[in-house]
Amino acid sequence: MYSFIWLFDTLITLYVWILIGSAILSWLVAFNVVNPHNQFVRSLGEFLWRVTEPVLAPIRRLLPNLGGIDVSPVILIILLYFIRNLVIELLVGA
């Protein structure tokens, strides 16, 4: 049972890091720190967008317009950690 808990925890943690990477890359592109026409940056951005956008889009639709500030990754990270802790508590019985 602990192996499944470890796997679940690892997958949540990995997805949180992917969300953070996606946010950082979007900032770097927005502030012209990296060249979005570079093949590696384009491929990385496309991968991160395809992995995160299906989960972030419904959250963005529920949030009001905050004037260009996207807090959906923060809300998703909090929600993922809540779900992770809830599942671990239910399975372990802590």
- Based on the structure, what is the number of domains in the chain? 1
pLDDT in tens, 12-64: 999 999 999 999 999 999 999 999 999 999 999 999 999 999 999 999 999 98
78: tokens are: 């909090």
CA proximity to 80, closest of 63, 48, 56: 56
Instruction: Give pLDDT, residue 92.
Output: 86
| E strand residue ranges, the chain | none
Give the structural domain span for 8: 2-92
Task: Check residue 94 and give its pLDDT.
Answer: 59
Residue whose tokens read 């502030």: 31
| 2 CB-near residues (< 8 Å, 6+ apart) | none
Q: How is residue 35 written in tokens?
A: 């060249």
